[in-house]
Structure 1
Amino acid sequence: VTVKRAEAKDCLTRRHGFQGRCLFDRQCAHVCRSDGFIGGQCRGPLRKCFCSRPC
């Protein structure tokens, strides 16, 4: 018997309180986790911080 497992997707939300360019994913993730998100990444050509949470 094979059981299929649904993959949970993460939704990204831009963190508007993050000042300046996002240079390090680790720093962005730390700030996002302090706001209750599960992590964060620097994204886009202007390197903004985006926080992630389960959709």
Structure 2
Amino acid sequence: MGAGKKMKHAAETAKGKAKEATGKATGNESLTLKGKAEQVKGDSMQAGQKAKDAFKH
């Protein structure tokens, strides 16, 4: 996986975790759900890149 893409996907996951925590702390269910969605998106992009890398080697 390229370092730039890896950092981008990790940042997406971290941003989602922060949104989820903020949503939980403020009682904002919408923000909590958006945070969870961003985490899933970041995790799935990381998994996709790892699969691509596995086929390259």
User: What TM-score, normalized to structure 2?
Assistant: 0.28
From the two aligned structures, give the one with the greater helix fraction: 2
From the two aligned structures, give the one with the greater strand fraction: 1
User: What TM-score, normalized to structure 1?
Assistant: 0.29
